[in-house]
Amino acid sequence: MINTNCSAVHTRQALCCKMSVEYDKFLESGQKWFCHVDDDNYVNPRTLLHLLSAFSHSQDVYVGRPSLDHPIEAADHVQSDGSKTTVKFWFATGGAGFCISRGLALKMSPWASLGNFISTAERVRLPDDCTIGYIIEGLLEVKLLHSPLFHSHLENLQRLQGESVLQQVTLSYGDPENKHNVVSVGGVFGLQQDPTRSLDVNFGAVLHVSQIVARQMIKQGVAGAIVNVSSQASQRALRDHAVYCSTKSALDMLTKVMAMELGPHKIRVNTVNPTVVMTDMGRINWSDPQKSAAMINRIPLGKFAEVDDVVNSVLFLLSGKSAMTTGSSLMVDGGFLVS
Q: Is the separation of the CB atoms in 200 and 250 below 8 Å?
A: no
CA–CA dist 69, 213 (Å, integer): 39
* Interacting residues of 208 by C-beta distance below 8 A, sequence separation 6+: none
DSSP, residue by residue, 220-244: TT--EEEEEE--GGGSS--TT-HHH
CA–CA dist 268, 246 (Å, integer): 24
CA 71 vs CA 44, 130, 142, 150: distances in Å? 28, 10, 14, 18
Q: Is the separation of the CB atoms in 97 and 52 below 8 Å?
A: no
CA–CA dist 313, 319 (Å, integer): 10
Helix ranges (H only) for the chain are 12-29, 45-52, 102-107, 109-112, 116-124, 128-133, 197-199, 205-219, 242-262, 280-285, 289-296, 307-318
Query: Is 129 annotated in the active site?
Result: yes
Residue type, 46: R
Q: Is the separation of the CB atoms in 73 and 88 below 8 Å?
A: yes
DSSP, residue by residue, 143-210: PPEE-TT---TTS-GGGS-GGGGGG-SEE---BTTBTT-----SS---TTT-TTHHHIIIIIHHHHHH
Which of 24, 60, 76, 129 is an active site residue? 129
What's 319's DSSP letter?
S
Give all strands of the β-sheet with 62-64 in edge-to-edge order: 33-36, 98-101, 62-64, 145-146
Active-site residue numbers? Answer: 129
